[in-house]
Amino acid sequence: MNLKNLSKLARITGTGSYLPEKILSNADLEKMVETTDEWIVSRTGMKERRIAADDEFTSHMATKAATIALQDANIQADQIDAILVATLTPDHIFPSTAALLERNLGAKNAAALDIQAACTGYLYALSIAKAWIESGTYSNILVVAAEKLSTIVDYKDRGTCILFGDGASAAVVSNKGAGLAIQHTCLGADGEQSELLKLPAGGSRLPASKETVEQGLHYLQMEGREVYKHAVRRMENAAKECLDKCGLSDSDISWLVPHQANIRIMEAIAKRFGIPMERVFQTIHKYGNTSASAIAIALDELLKEHPVSTGDNLLLFAFGAGLTWGASLLTQIEE
């Protein structure tokens, strides 16, 4: 699609992130479980992650990130028509965190709902925002990804506790203005593999009880090695499909913005696209895996650290529980 045609598409006009102050370093983890800084860095690329305060919830982080994104887009809260919050750690099962965010922002004209697609949630939310904007249903949508994963991590399980952190990021998606046009978003899911990554209890299948708590069933469980294999294949395929749908090739990509789950996964996919790691935006060393928030935070930091020029193409891709996966191609446009 040429740049002129892109002017009809939904675009991201502002972004903002919030990361809690408290840092959990690899040295801290060495004191909690049998692990080493060397193992964590070489197997994952992670050095630190952020942990929210006890009285700081997903909706608080979402509100802080959204406030910055609204300022960045130069838009008032009452101009927002819909709020989408991608999270697997909502404040409550219901009401939605999106509704709490609507209240906190005073976004009184907005519809509000949560999106549950695990680490792929931000891309699912972007895709829905694009459809609503381009159908003419809404003009301005706030897309937020926010996670307090520290509440569902078992800090006695070295296989998972080294991986995850807390944080939030937001984007305003609008029908006009300069920004990143959402050219295409490819999404997928495979429920046959739902056992690989899950939070067993707390839903209707296994409601909270003394037994579920005693058995640690309110913590996330992951078969890391299996998930790894699916992650590489699914993200690579989604990213390739997305590029194809946009009529672009590997050499058109300005930046890869991958899910921040493992540096080795990012390296494997970058290699297959022939993209040097300098063009693969990374926050994994600072924040670990923040699930739905991970690519949202990476996109925001990329835009702040390396302002993009008209025509630059950003290829985002993510993967998570479900299994779910997706990719999105964003192109900077003038208006």
**Residues in the site for ligand UT7, rule: CB under 6 A?**
35, 39-40, 43-44, 119, 158-159, 162, 224-225, 227-228, 231, 261-262, 265, 289, 319-320
Q: In the numeric block, which tokens belong to residue 220?
A: 């996330």
CB of residue 223 to ligand UT7, shortest distance in Å: 8
Residue 218 designated active-site: no
Q: Which residues lie closer than 8 Å to 241 by C-beta, 6 or more apart? A: 186, 327
Residue 161 designated active-site: no
- Asked whether 154 and 96 are in contact (CB, 8 A), the reply is no
Q: Which residues lie closer than 8 Å to 76 by C-beta, 6 or more apart? A: 70
Q: In the numeric block, which tokens belong to residue 69?
A: 């994104």
From 119, 161, 186, 242, the catalytic residue: 119
Q: Of the two residues 159 and 200, which places its CB atom closer to ligand UT7 in the complex?
A: 159
Residue 289 designated active-site: yes
Q: Of the two residues 119 and 256, which places its CB atom closer to ligand UT7 in the complex?
A: 119
d(CA 241, CA 163): 29
CB of residue 48 to ligand UT7, shortest distance in Å: 15
The kind and range of the H/E element at 16 are: strand 11-18
Q: In the numeric block, which tokens belong to residue 235?
A: 């993200």
Q: Of the two residues 43 and 218, which places its CB atom closer to ligand UT7 in the complex?
A: 43
From 26, 140, 259, 313, the catalytic residue: 259
Q: In the numeric block, which tokens belong to residue 149?
A: 């994963």
From 26, 175, 262, 289, the catalytic residue: 289
Strand partners, 320: 324
Q: How far apart are the first and last CA of the chain?
A: 15
- Asked whether 88 and 321 are in contact (CB, 8 A), the reply is yes
Q: In the numeric block, which tokens belong to residue 138?
A: 């809404």
Q: Of the two residues 35 and 67, which places its CB atom closer to ligand UT7 in the complex?
A: 35
Q: Of the two residues 28 and 78, which places its CB atom closer to ligand UT7 in the complex?
A: 28
CB of residue 159 to ligand UT7, shortest distance in Å: 5
DSSP state of 248: -
Q: Which residue is nearest to ligand UT7 (CB)?
A: 224
d(CA 331, CA 318): 18
Q: Of the two residues 138 and 317, which places its CB atom closer to ligand UT7 in the complex?
A: 317
d(CA 327, CA 335): 24
d(CA 284, CA 92): 27
Amino acid at 214: E
Q: Which residues lie closer than 8 Å to 216 by C-beta, 6 or more apart? A: 154
Catalytic residue positions?
119, 259, 289
